[in-house]
Structure 1
Amino acid sequence: LPEGYMFNISAPDGGSPTSIRRQIEDLIGPADTEEWFQLFRDNYVQEADIIAMKEWGADHIRFPFHYNLFYDIDTDEFIDEGFDRLDQLLVWCKRHRVDVILDMHAAPGAQNDGPISDSDGTARLWTESETYWPITVKVWEEIARQYKDETIIIGYDLINEPVTPDGYGGRDLARLYGQLTTAIRKIDENHILFIEGNYYATTFDFLTPPFDDNMVYAFHKYWNETDQGTIQYLLNIRSQHNVPLWLGESGENSNPWFYETIKLMERNNVGWNW
């Protein structure tokens, strides 16, 4: 899933994946754009990258995907190519023993109003939930069906950085997570469910107590200090409910900030992803 900053394209000029594709089409036409994106996906991550990350000490990677990698909303059909690409990644990861967390980085309708969710400016996952929640459930059901016995996959990061708009809130997020959990557990009882908090995975109101026996609270950490106080509320949730924590994203700061953040996580026995 391309994000605008990777291409030095920022919002509101078109930092979403759809806007990036549209701008490339304006330059070279639809057919060449499709070829370009195929080559982009062929080359963005290869086996050599998995080897390098293993050598650097990584024991797992987070696979961020746009739901439309696997599902065509216009035809109501699943896309074999998307699953084939994930299958190839899993082959490399099994070969080099790097575990995988599947991350729905752009959900149907968009889970926040920013370009990272491929939004058109409205978080329609919430404002048009009757349309987009069933699709979200359907995609995760198919993923669970195909990978329920895949041991290199740690689990499913159900919704990346949800942000409910005005008029919606944590109760709505909890209801969606409840539907997803029920649907997935009918198929797959093996994998961990990673539950991100509201407001870019920072607040967990209405997501406690835990609603599954095999779940993790996943949080993100950007643009703040690296002291104990910044994560104490999360540690309190962990202690109160006996549910693990995982830092799923962080960064955009500096190398010293990264170093201090990693030390903070390790002192508190919190797993982290780069």
Structure 2
Amino acid sequence: MTDDARFLRVSGTSLTDGTGAKVRLRGVGLGGWMNMENFITGYPSTESLMRAEVGRVLGEDRAHRFFDRLLTAFFGEDDAAYLASLGLNCVRLPLNYRHFEDDRAPFTILESGFRHLDRVIDICARHGLYTVLDLHAAPGAQNHHWHSDNPTHLPSFWQHAHFQDRLVHLWQVIADRYAEHPWVAGHNLLNEPADVSGEVIGPFYERLVSAVREVDPRHTIFLDGNTYSTRFDMFGDPPDNTVYTCHDYALAGFVHGGPYPGYTEGEWVDRDRLEEKFLERSDYMRRTGTPIWVGEFGPVYTGDPDRDAQRYQILRDQLAIYDAYDAGWSIWTYKDIGVQGLVHTSVDSPYMRRFGDFQAKKARLGADHWGSTDEGVRHLIEPIRAFMDEEFPGFDPYPSGRRKFADDLVRHILFAQPLTVEYAELFRGLDDGELDALAASFAFAACDHREPLAEILARHTREHA
């Protein structure tokens, strides 16, 4: 097949290549790489706060050296070959804008930020893997949480035209750079937006899509729904060659999730409920006759064999549902320290030996939104929740209400931010060889595999080729 024929575009409810053959993108998200997340690589709070503290301990140059080696180790030829061996055909690449632009110099593009992105796009291409470029953290933060590198609980992106202008400019640069790359499946313009009003996102998307297509009219656009890619009711008719993407995490698959089938947070979750939620989240795509792509989904694993067996059943049920509706997907996430990843660091690795006790403290304090529960600090957080319920019964903050609002401010900010200092101090005194060993702990050859997950994905792609 020629390079030209590799380009994908929307044709009715499917993506097709240049020969007219249908292509259903099924793959992984590369979380923790060019957008680091606390539960994925084990640091607390947000990437920018963590990097600043590590830079304080190591010095700017040595910190840069460590993170550069971590990015290199995190994904290479072996990783791409492994994904291809499972029958997958796509890697979604989450990006933090800070790799490409410094807040101290807005609109000035950092060429150095593209070195690793170029490398991984080309590695994936050599192994027959499409890439979707996913802007995961925007200037000002497009949602409330750590994964947009937001140190507060306020998504300021939607209130400030300056931040929006910077994102439009950045996307024009990215789209222009890869406009002729046939293995780039498309541009996922903004991950999990959370426009509180619901009134800004529609007009902004129109502006952003138009700006991208000025420099790259060929690639498919991927647009996440509002409220963390679950709501689409504020959008009108879809633009040409556009895929709207939903995220479809199962309530029973969260770290605090109950049995499956069974109750979580008072809600019964079984296969029928999974399908009901998927149909709700994909309603816009089915009504408009456009492709369905589940940009993120996947349970959190606990280490308990019985509970994890239930989590694998959630995954099997979701994959069967997606097949029934011809939906593509990208499971979250490919590599981590053992929470969700298909591949994860070994408990005997230099990184886990260095940071294992710290991980236990972080879990005890419930400092990660995604990777921990409130069990160790419930005696502290419950009185605050009760106080909020009593004093502010009419307060129902977007997107998740009073109780999770309290958790975000207390556990995930008040407790998490001081932990960045403790995490960084664990780098003190390490020589360059020891730092290199920490980074190399994330290399494919040094990692363990979550074999049941790999078997489920491989069997699924074989049976539904």
For the criterion TM > 0.5, the same-fold answer is yes
Higher deviation after alignment, 56-65 or 232-241: 232-241
The equivalent of 1:261 in structure 2 is 318
1:70 aligns with 2:100: yes
The equivalent of 1:192 in structure 2 is 220
Q: 1:135: Cα distance to partner?
A: 0.2
C-alpha contact (below 8 Å) 2:45/2:151 kept by paired residues: no
C-alpha contact (below 8 Å) 1:160/1:201 kept by paired residues: yes
The equivalent of 2:86 in structure 1 is 56
Q: 1:228: Cα distance to partner?
A: 2.1
**d(CA) in 1 for partners of 2:47, 2:38:** 7
C-alpha contact (below 8 Å) 2:131/2:186 kept by paired residues: yes
1:222 aligns with 2:249: yes
1:233 aligns with 2:261: no
C-alpha contact (below 8 Å) 1:108/1:136 kept by paired residues: yes
**d(CA) in 2 for partners of 1:252, 1:151:** 32
C-alpha contact (below 8 Å) 2:246/2:282 kept by paired residues: no
The one-letter code matched in structure 2 to 1:60 is C
Instruction: Render the CA deviation track for 1:211-250: whole Å, top value 9, x for unaligned.
Output: x111011011113344321122344322321111100011
Give 1:113-192 correspondences, 5 Å limit: 113-121=144-152, 122-128=154-160, 130-165=161-196, 168-169=197-198, 171-192=199-220
The equivalent of 2:235 in structure 1 is 207
The one-letter code matched in structure 2 to 1:25 is G
1:251 aligns with 2:298: yes
**Unmatched segments (≥5 aa) in structure 2:** 1-34, 252-268, 301-310, 332-465
**d(CA) in 2 for partners of 1:87, 1:26:** 29
Larger radius of gyration: 2
Q: 1:68: Cα distance to partner?
A: 1.7
C-alpha contact (below 8 Å) 2:248/2:281 kept by paired residues: no
The equivalent of 2:38 in structure 1 is 4
Distance 1:205 1:34, change over 3 A: same
Q: 1:146: Cα distance to partner?
A: 0.8
Higher deviation after alignment, 69-78 or 52-61: 69-78
Q: 1:200: Cα distance to partner?
A: 0.9
Higher deviation after alignment, 111-120 or 245-254: 245-254
Instruction: Render the CA deviation track for 1:22-67: whole Å, top value 9, x for unaligned.
Output: 2323433333211111111111111110111111111011011101
Give 1:106-117 correspondences, 5 Å limit: 106-117=137-148
**Unmatched segments (≥5 aa) in structure 1:** none
Q: Secondary structure at the match of 1:51?
A: helix
Instruction: Render the CA deviation track for 1:165-197: whole Å, top value 9, x for unaligned.
Output: 3xx22x211111111111011111111111101
C-alpha contact (below 8 Å) 1:201/1:219 kept by paired residues: yes
Instruction: Render the CA deviation track for 1:123-155: whole Å, top value 9, x for unaligned.
Output: 111122x11000000000001111111110010
**d(CA) in 1 for partners of 2:281, 2:229:** 11
Query: How many aligned residue pairs are there?
Result: 265
Distance 1:93 1:148, change over 3 A: same
The equivalent of 2:334 in structure 1 is none
**d(CA) in 1 for partners of 2:72, 2:278:** 38
**d(CA) in 1 for partners of 2:111, 2:56:** 28
**d(CA) in 2 for partners of 1:127, 1:106:** 16
Q: Share of identical aligned residues, percent?
A: 26
Higher deviation after alignment, 101-110 or 67-76: 67-76
**d(CA) in 1 for partners of 2:37, 2:47:** 6
Instruction: Render the CA deviation track for 1:65-93: whole Å, top value 9, x for unaligned.
Output: 10122223322321222222221112212
Higher deviation after alignment, 14-23 or 151-160: 14-23
C-alpha contact (below 8 Å) 1:104/1:159 kept by paired residues: yes
C-alpha contact (below 8 Å) 1:3/1:17 kept by paired residues: yes
**d(CA) in 1 for partners of 2:88, 2:150:** 31
C-alpha contact (below 8 Å) 1:4/1:20 kept by paired residues: no
Q: Secondary structure at the match of 1:200?
A: helix
